[in-house]
Amino acid sequence: MENISSAFDVDLVIVGGGPTGLLSAVLARSQGLSVYIIDAKNGALEVGRADALNARTQQYLEVTKTLSFLEPFGLKCNTSSTFEGGQFTSQQNKWWTSLKHTHRPNFLMIGQSQVEETLLHQLDIPVDYNSQVNGIKETTSGVVVTTDKGRTIAAKYAIAADGARSFVRTTLGIPFTGTKPEMVWAVLDTFIETDFPVCPEIITFQKDGQSRVAWIPRERGMNRFYILLDGEITQEKAETSIRDHMAPHKVEFKKTEWFSTFEIKERVASTFISKDGKGRILLAGDAAHVHAVNGGQGLNTGIADAFNLIWRVAFAIKGHGGSTLLKSYDEERRATATAVIDVAAKLVRTTVKTALEYVEIIEKNAGYITGMGVSYSSTTPLVVDSSYGDFVAGNRCPDLWVTKLPESLSQTNAEEFSRIRLYELFTYGRFKVLFIGNEKPASFEQAIELQQKAEIWHIHDQDDRLTTLTHEFSAEWVKSDEGAVVVVRPDMYVGYVGKDWVQYLDSVFS
């Protein structure tokens, strides 16, 4: 090895310091992994890019203790409206209000720069900014990355989160195929003065049978506009289009923080793992999939990639689970990316149709827009077709209320002080086995032994402790005359429900 300033030996090297890469680093550090992050930018993002966290992303970031730093700065939004001919023609929020078992049935409107800043604050390691990867090589035991600064990083695994033009993906020769509709949008982050009835809603403006302008409320009283234009794209043309669509109301643009254009592309990598799923380099975020911004899918899908991936990498590095465990990341997330691209494609294409058609598409695909309907197929190895009530294998774990039982009978007011949601209790990185109702470990000794592989939780309807397990709770939704064993994966998805949960865990750890 060279001197420490130019050569590094770590568990994981992450190429890309956007939200996907930064969250991957936060999660990896929480699992005790050594990490090196490389980013070609001069520093953290300051303006622009993504603008919303969906409900599922907020659940993820609650688990990582990130969300509490973001919520004070964000704006909650769960209503979409359409405006045409000087009046509102529809207003809808059913796809949010109908969500079950979630504490935040809304978008949190907040800029990507704020998300990155918060994740950077959580990290205990620096990002190597202004550093371009110029080589990546895979060996039988790891990955070697070199940079234009003359640095060499040897790692057990590498994550490519370096965006749609990913150097890593291109170097590996992984096909990145899809479609490219002839649509170019302008995007504007701006402060305005207007007599329009301003409200915290997403507003789609209809004119001449098309929906070419969308108004997104933002934090700090800022406004995000998406404008579909023909021909040359300029800020002046974008502002003129906004005025035309908001008429007869007046609008004056006071200060614009960011103006940009983006060409719609819909592409997905043929594999998210090098060597046809057998390698040590993994794609995530825009390096793995790109699509239209409609529906706010980009940042949210990348965050979900990281949450799905990092616990698998940690398991592999620590000797738990084999290639099947990592390969299931590719199977689950590539299928999700393909579905997300399909949803975003439908949304972007209906902008040139009526507002009614646009709303219908949103309603049909709300599960992906909110993030709460994303599920994994039982054809993948970590999902076994099974269910109990709201616990369905392949679906997100519901965020249910429980009451943490006092450690002794002398403690009182447990109901008043200890009622709490599962996602407030959950931490990242371990399986959780929930013994619900009249199901319980065969013995306390069995529970202690199993805690080497998973957290053992007992949730029943009694007010008193039945065991000395650390994770023991009562809950009103539990029925005393029935029960089930539910295995919740480290990414907060249900993996299995049933009597053969030990065999399920053995199959993961083998």
Q: Which domains does the chain have, with CATH numbers?
A: 7-75+109-177+266-341 (3.50.50.60), 387-509 (3.40.30.20)
Report the pLDDT value the prediction gives residue 97, as an integer from 0 to 100: 85
Report the pLDDT value the prediction gives residue 1, as an integer from 0 to 100: 32
Lowest mean pLDDT among 103-107, 156-160, 358-362: 358-362
DSSP 397: P
Residue 411 scores a pLDDT above 60: no
For residue 170, the one-letter residue type is T
Confidence of residue 297 (pLDDT cuts 50, 70, 90): confident
The answer, as to whether pTM is greater than 0.85, is yes
Those residues with Cβ within 8 angstroms of residue 422's Cβ, 6 or more apart along the chain or in another chain:
397, 398, 399, 400, 401, 402
Confidence of residue 4 (pLDDT cuts 50, 70, 90): very low
Report the pLDDT value the prediction gives residue 409, as an integer from 0 to 100: 47
Q: What is the three-class DSSP state of 335?
A: helix
- How far is the C-alpha of 93 from the C-alpha of 79, rounded, in Å? 5
Confidence of residue 237 (pLDDT cuts 50, 70, 90): very high
Closest CA to 47 of 214, 239, 188, 245: 188
The residues pairing with 261 across neighbouring beta strands, listed in sequence order, are 186
Residue 496 scores a pLDDT above 60: yes
- Residue with the bigger pLDDT between 277 and 449: it is 277
Average pLDDT, stretch 285-290? 94
Residue 88 and residue 26 in contact, taking contact as beta carbons nearer than 8 Å: no
Residue 115 and residue 17 in contact, taking contact as beta carbons nearer than 8 Å: no
Structure tokens at 360: 């219908």
Residue 352 scores a pLDDT above 70: no
Report the pLDDT value the prediction gives residue 198, as an integer from 0 to 100: 78
